[in-house]
Amino acid sequence: MSEQSLETPLFPLYLFKDDFESVYEPSEDTFVLMDAIEKDLMIIKEMDPLICVEVGCGSGAVITSVAKCLDPNKRLYFGTDFNGKALLTTQKCGIVNGIDGCIQLVGTDLTQAIEERLKHSVDLLIFNAPYGPTDPQEVGISDISSAWAGGLNGRQVIDRFLRTVPKLLSHNGFCYLIVIKENNINEIKNIMKSLGFEMTVVLERKTYLEIIIALRFKRLPVIV
């Protein structure tokens, strides 16, 4: 494996087949997120992140691949999810892929439980958001549907997350977010600009049903 690539974690079917009845299985959007991070690996390594957080860690595929690539023992890794079964699956993913105990798992809605502890100190913030336009009442149900149910315009969870980024991200940190075209990318850009961040489209991939987009946010330069 190249130093500038992410290793896709192993999910042996005989170990994980029951997990994916209640936990979001690695899918096309998962791999778009991993590919976007891989594309930026050089600048991420130059930034030299100390604290890395994945919101909604689900299967653990992304945070596990990031930890293995960046060195699981030299940085702090956190995975949050309000689906307790997802936290267990992420833990199992770490064990199977040789980084047992390297990811601190936190049961919480988005980042609520860690916002004060990690205020302005997260260098790499990652979220494969529930972006699917759905009935607003479908959002936040504690089962596998929470992985994709995004409410009105697919933005209910995304907009809540965007407001947490300034609280968590360090001065030089990067935030990666997965969205789809229907989420109104220009509006997201304007929201983040008003919060002091610039947005970059890192990767865009058309699938059978949708166009999946990986966004990167970083703080705008401070003009003295």
Structural domain boundaries in the chain: 22-219
pLDDT tens-digit map of 5-50:
899 999 999 999 999 999 999 999 999 999 999 999 999 999 999 9
The CB density around residue 91, as the number of other CB atoms within 10 Å, is 17
Reported pTM: 0.95
**Which alpha helices (H) appear in the chain, and where do they start and end?**
13-16, 28-39, 41-47, 61-70, 84-96, 156-162, 165-168, 185-194
Q: What is the pLDDT along the chain (224 residues), one digit of tens a residue?
A: 445 689 999 999 999 999 999 999 999 999 999 999 999 999 999 999 999 999 999 999 999 999 999 999 999 999 999 999 999 999 999 999 999 999 999 999 999 999 999 999 999 999 999 999 998 888 876 668 788 889 999 999 999 999 999 999 999 999 999 999 999 999 999 999 999 999 999 999 999 889 999 999 999 987 65
Find, among 48, 2, 87, 55, the residue nearest to 172 by Cα. 48
Written as six digits, the tokens of 12 are 């042996």
Q: What are phi and psi of 218, to 5 degrees?
A: -145, 160
Distance separating alpha carbons of residues 75 and 219, to the nearest angstrom: 22
CATH of domain 22-219: 3.40.50.150
Task: Identify the three-state secondary structure at position 117.
Answer: coil
